[in-house]
Chain A
Amino acid sequence: MTYDWTELDPEKLPRDPRTDFVLNELERFIAADLGLGDEDPDSDHDVDLLARRSTAFDKQWWMAVVSVARSGDKISSLTINELIKKAEEYQPVPLSDFLFVPREYDEGQRTSTNLDVITIYAQRAYLDAVNAPDGEEKLGIRSILISTPLEDETLNPGAEPFAPPDLEVDVNQQTVVVAVIDHGIAIAHDLFRRRNGAGELELSRIDFFWDMDGAPEPAADVQSSVGRVWTRREIQNVLDHNIHNGLLDEAAVYRELGLIDWRFSRFKACAQRVSHGTHVMGLAAGYPPDEDTGEDRRIIAVQLPTRLVGNTSGNGLKLPLEQALRFIAARLSKYKIGRASHLPPLVMNFSFGNFMGPHDGTGEIERAIDKELTDMSAATHRARLLLLPSGNGNLSQCHAVINLTGAAPRERLDWNLQPADRSASFLDVWLPVLNPVPNNAMRLKLKGPGSVGSITLPAGMVPQHAVLIDTDENGNPFVVAALAYRPPSAPTFRGKFTVMTVPTDHPMNVGPVAPSGKWKLTFKKGAAVEDLALNVWVQRDDTLPGFPEFGRQSYLSDARYRRFGRPGGDVVAEDPPGHDSPVCRAGMINGIACGNLPAVVAGFVRSDGEMADYSAGGPTLNGLRLAGPDASAVSDDSVALSGVLSAGSSSGSRVPMNGTSVATPQVARWAADQIAASPTTPFGRAKVVAAALNDDPPSPRKPSILRTGGGRLSIESVFGQLRWPGQ
Chain B
Amino acid sequence: MADAANLGPEGAFGAFGAFGAFTGSGAFGAFGAFGAFGAFGAPGPANPPLISQALITNHDGIAGTWIPVAAGAVDANAEEDTAYLERLSPAVRASIYALELGTHIGFVFEPGADADDQGWGRVFHLETTLANPVPNAKYQGLIAMRRPTQDIFAEQLTLVANYADLRQDRMAEILAQLGTPTEFLRAIAYIEPSRTPYTIELLATAHWLANFVEMRLKYALGCKRPIEYSPQIQPMIWTPSHGTLPSGHATEAFTMARVLWLLLRANAVKPYSKGIWGEMLMRQAARIAINRTVAGVHFPVDSAAGAVLGLTLGRYFVDRCTHAAPSESWEFDGIAYPGDQDFDWRSYFHPNDPAGGTHPEQEQTAWATKDDIGDADANQMMSAPLNWLWGKAADEWKDLVTVVPAIAEDDES
Please name all residues of chain A whose beta carbon is closer than 8 Å to the beta carbon of B159 when the two chains form the complex: 262-263
CB pair A263 B344 closer than 8 Å: no
A266 CB, min distance to chain B CBs, angstroms: 8
Please name all residues of chain B whose beta carbon is closer than 8 Å to the beta carbon of A267 when the two chains form the complex: 165
Residue of B nearest to A242 (CB): B346
Give complex CA distance A249, B154 in Å. 28
CB pair A245 B351 closer than 8 Å: yes
Q: Is A568 an interface residue (CB 8 A)?
A: no
Please name all residues of chain A whose beta carbon is closer than 8 Å to the beta carbon of B168 when the two chains form the complex: 546
- Knowing A244-B275, A255-B342, A263-B158 are in contact, say whether A271-B165 is a contact too (CB < 8 A): yes
B231 CB, min distance to chain A CBs, angstroms: 12
Select A252's contact among B166, B276, B346, beta carbons within 8 Å.
B346
CB pair A41 B154 closer than 8 Å: yes
Please name all residues of chain B whose beta carbon is closer than 8 Å to the beta carbon of A249 when the two chains form the complex: 346
Residue of A nearest to B159 (CB): A262
Residue of A244, A247, A272, A273 most packed against chain B (CB within 10 A): A244
Please name all residues of chain A whose beta carbon is closer than 8 Å to the beta carbon of B280 when the two chains form the complex: 247
Q: Is B340 an interface residue (CB 8 A)?
A: yes
Give complex CA distance A244, B278 in Å. 11
Give complex CA distance A252, B342 in Å. 11
Give complex CA distance A326, B152 in Å. 44
Give complex CA distance A319, B158 in Å. 30
Please name all residues of chain A whose beta carbon is closer than 8 Å to the beta carbon of B163 when the two chains form the complex: 262
Q: Is B370 an interface residue (CB 8 A)?
A: no
How many residues belonging to B are interface residues under a CB distance threshold of 8 Å?
23
- Knowing A245-B353, A247-B279, A267-B165 are in contact, say whether A262-B342 is a contact too (CB < 8 A): yes
Chain B 238-257: CB-based contact to A (< 8 A → 1; otherwise 0):
00000000000000000000
Give complex CA distance A41, B339 in Å. 15
Q: Is A251 an interface residue (CB 8 A)?
A: yes
Q: Is B162 an interface residue (CB 8 A)?
A: yes
Residue of A nearest to B163 (CB): A262
Please name all residues of chain A whose beta carbon is closer than 8 Å to the beta carbon of B300 when the two chains form the complex: 262
Number of interchain pairs (Cβ within 8 Å) = 48
Please name all residues of chain A whose beta carbon is closer than 8 Å to the beta carbon of B344 when the two chains form the complex: 251-252, 255
CB pair B346 A271 closer than 8 Å: no
Please name all residues of chain A whose beta carbon is closer than 8 Å to the beta carbon of B166 when the two chains form the complex: 271-272
Q: Is B161 an interface residue (CB 8 A)?
A: yes
How many residues belonging to A are interface residues under a CB distance threshold of 8 Å?
21
CB pair A548 B342 closer than 8 Å: no
CB pair B279 A244 closer than 8 Å: yes
CB pair A265 B162 closer than 8 Å: yes
B105 CB, min distance to chain A CBs, angstroms: 33
Select A245's contact among B158, B165, B169, B278, beta carbons within 8 Å.
B278
B367 CB, min distance to chain A CBs, angstroms: 17
Give complex CA distance A255, B274 in Å. 26
B290 CB, min distance to chain A CBs, angstroms: 9
- Knowing A41-B154, A262-B342, A265-B162 are in contact, say whether A247-B276 is a contact too (CB < 8 A): yes
CB pair B342 A263 closer than 8 Å: yes
Residue of B165, B169, B342, B346 most packed against chain A (CB within 10 A): B165
Please name all residues of chain B whose beta carbon is closer than 8 Å to the beta carbon of A245 when the two chains form the complex: 274-276, 278-279, 351, 353
CB pair A265 B351 closer than 8 Å: no
Please name all residues of chain A whose beta carbon is closer than 8 Å to the beta carbon of B158 when the two chains form the complex: 263, 265
Please name all residues of chain A whose beta carbon is closer than 8 Å to the beta carbon of B275 when the two chains form the complex: 244-245
Q: Is A726 an interface residue (CB 8 A)?
A: no
Give complex CA distance A469, B78 in Å. 93
Chain A 63-97: CB-based contact to B (< 8 A → 1; otherwise 0):
00000000000000000000000000000000000
Residue of B162, B168, B300, B353 most packed against chain A (CB within 10 A): B162
Q: Is A475 an interface residue (CB 8 A)?
A: no
Q: Is the interface of A mostly helix, strand, loop or mixed?
A: loop
Q: List residues of A (251-296) whose CB comes within 8 Å of B's CBs.
A: 251-252, 255, 261-265, 267-268, 271-273
Give complex CA distance A96, B159 in Å. 38
- Knowing A41-B154, A245-B353 are in contact, say whether A263-B169 is a contact too (CB < 8 A): no
CB pair B351 A244 closer than 8 Å: yes
Give complex CA distance A272, B169 in Å. 6
Q: Is A199 an interface residue (CB 8 A)?
A: no
Please name all residues of chain B whose beta carbon is closer than 8 Å to the beta carbon of A265 when the two chains form the complex: 158, 161-162
Q: List residues of A (579-631) whose CB comes within 8 Å of B's CBs.
A: none
B285 CB, min distance to chain A CBs, angstroms: 13
Please name all residues of chain B whose beta carbon is closer than 8 Å to the beta carbon of A272 when the two chains form the complex: 165-166, 169
CB pair B279 A268 closer than 8 Å: no
CB pair B342 A246 closer than 8 Å: no
Please name all residues of chain A whose beta carbon is closer than 8 Å to the beta carbon of B162 when the two chains form the complex: 262-265
Give complex CA distance A637, B41 in Å. 57
B71 CB, min distance to chain A CBs, angstroms: 63
Please name all residues of chain A whose beta carbon is closer than 8 Å to the beta carbon of B340 when the two chains form the complex: 263
Give complex CA distance A265, B161 in Å. 8
Chain A 476-498: CB-based contact to B (< 8 A → 1; otherwise 0):
00000000000000000000000
Give complex CA distance A25, B221 in Å. 50
Select B276's contact among A246, A251, A261, A264, beta carbons within 8 Å.
A246
Please name all residues of chain A whose beta carbon is closer than 8 Å to the beta carbon of B346 when the two chains form the complex: 244, 249, 252
Q: List residues of B (313-334) whose CB comes within 8 Å of A's CBs.
A: none
Give complex CA distance A264, B342 in Å. 11
Give complex CA distance A532, B168 in Å. 49
Give complex CA distance A262, B339 in Å. 12
Q: List residues of A (208-254) whose CB comes within 8 Å of B's CBs.
A: 244-247, 249, 251-252
Residue of A nearest to B170 (CB): A273
Residue of A nearest to B290 (CB): A251
Give complex CA distance A247, B165 in Å. 26
Residue of A nearest to B341 (CB): A263
Please name all residues of chain B whose beta carbon is closer than 8 Å to the beta carbon of A244 when the two chains form the complex: 275, 279, 346, 351
B350 CB, min distance to chain A CBs, angstroms: 8
Give complex CA distance A70, B300 in Å. 57
Give complex CA distance A245, B274 in Å. 8
Give complex CA distance A252, B275 in Å. 18
A42 CB, min distance to chain B CBs, angstroms: 11
B408 CB, min distance to chain A CBs, angstroms: 16
Please name all residues of chain B whose beta carbon is closer than 8 Å to the beta carbon of A548 when the two chains form the complex: 165
Please name all residues of chain B whose beta carbon is closer than 8 Å to the beta carbon of A251 when the two chains form the complex: 344
Give complex CA distance A252, B166 in Å. 17
Give complex CA distance A261, B353 in Å. 29
CB pair B165 A268 closer than 8 Å: yes
A649 CB, min distance to chain B CBs, angstroms: 10
Give complex CA distance A273, B280 in Å. 18
Residue of B nearest to A244 (CB): B279
Residue of B nearest to A264 (CB): B162
B345 CB, min distance to chain A CBs, angstroms: 9
Please name all residues of chain B whose beta carbon is closer than 8 Å to the beta carbon of A268 when the two chains form the complex: 165
A222 CB, min distance to chain B CBs, angstroms: 28
Chain A 33-69: CB-based contact to B (< 8 A → 1; otherwise 0):
0000000010000000000000000000000000000
A588 CB, min distance to chain B CBs, angstroms: 28
Please name all residues of chain B whose beta carbon is closer than 8 Å to the beta carbon of A247 when the two chains form the complex: 276, 279-280
Please name all residues of chain B whose beta carbon is closer than 8 Å to the beta carbon of A41 when the two chains form the complex: 154
Q: List residues of B (141-170) whose CB comes within 8 Å of A's CBs.
A: 154, 158-159, 161-163, 165-166, 168-169
Give complex CA distance A267, B344 in Å. 20
Residue of B154, B169, B300 most packed against chain A (CB within 10 A): B169
Give complex CA distance A263, B342 in Å. 8
Please name all residues of chain B whose beta carbon is closer than 8 Å to the beta carbon of A273 when the two chains form the complex: 169
Give complex CA distance A262, B340 in Å. 9
Residue of B nearest to A274 (CB): B169
Interfacial residues, chain B to chain A (CB-CB below 8 A): 154, 158-159, 161-163, 165-166, 168-169, 274-276, 278-280, 300, 340, 342, 344, 346, 351, 353
Interfacial residues, chain A to chain B (CB-CB below 8 A): 41, 244-247, 249, 251-252, 255, 261-265, 267-268, 271-273, 546, 548
- A sample of 9 inter-chain contacts (CB < 8 A) reads A244-B275, A247-B279, A251-B344, A261-B342, A262-B300, A262-B342, A263-B340, A271-B166, A273-B169
- Nearest 5 A/B pairs, CB to CB: A245-B275, A245-B279, A245-B276, A262-B159, A262-B162
| Interface contacts beyond A245-B353, A262-B163, A268-B165: sample of 4 additional A-B pairs, CB < 8 Å, sorted by A | A245-B275, A252-B346, A265-B162, A271-B165
